[in-house]
Structure 1
Amino acid sequence: MALTKPKKIPRYRRNKQRKVDKGIIHIRASFNNTIITVTNVLGCVISWSSAGACGFKGPKKGSTFAAQKATENVIRMVVINRATVLITGSGKGRDAALRVIQQNHIPIHAVLDITPTPHNGCRPPVKRRI
Structure 2
Amino acid sequence: MKKARPRINPPRMNRLLTSRRYRLLRRNVRKIRNGVIHIQASINNTIITVTDLEGQVVSWDSAGTSGFKGPKRGTPYAAQIATKNAIYVLVKESMKRAEVMVKGVGPGRDAALRTVVRSGVKLDFIRDVTPIPHNGCRPPKRRRL
Give the TM-score of the pair, scaled to structure 2: 0.74
How far apart, CA to CA, are the structure 1 residues paired with 2:34 and 2:140? 43
**What is the match of residue 36 of structure 1?**
48
Matched, 1:52 2:64: yes
Q: Deviations over 1:59-114 (max 9, x none)?
A: 00000000000000011121311100000000011110010011111100000000
Q: Say whether residues 1:81 and 2:96 are aligned partners.
A: yes
Measured in 2, the distance between the counterparts of 1:52 and 1:125 equals: 36
Q: How far apart in 2 are the matches of 1:58 and 1:78?
A: 29
Match of 1:119 among 117, 134, 137: 134
Structure of larger gyration radius? 1
Q: After TM superposition, which residue ranges in structure 1, 4 or more long, deviate above 4 angstroms?
A: none
Q: Please state how far the C-alpha of 1:20 moved relative to its aligned partner.
A: 1.2
Q: 1:118 to 1:71 in 2, by over 3 A?
A: same
Change (3 A) 1:125 1:51: farther
Bigger helix fraction: 2
In terms of fraction of residues, the more strand-rich structure is: 1
Q: What percentage of residue pairs aligned between the two structures are identical? A: 53
Aligned mates of 2:133, 2:88 — CA distance in 1: 36
Residue 13 of structure 1 is matched in structure 2 by 24
Distance 1:89 1:124 in 2: 23
Q: Report the equivalent of 2:8.
A: none
**Distance in 1 of aligned mates of 2:57 and 2:122:** 19
Contact 1:83-1:107 at 8 Å conserved across structures: yes
Distance 1:125 1:52, change over 3 A: farther
- Structure 1 stretches of 5 or more lacking a match? 1-11
1:71 maps to 83
Unaligned runs of 5+ in 2: 1-22
Query: Could you say what the CA RMSD is over the residues aligned between the two structures, in angstroms?
Result: 1.7
The number of residue pairs the alignment matches comes to 115
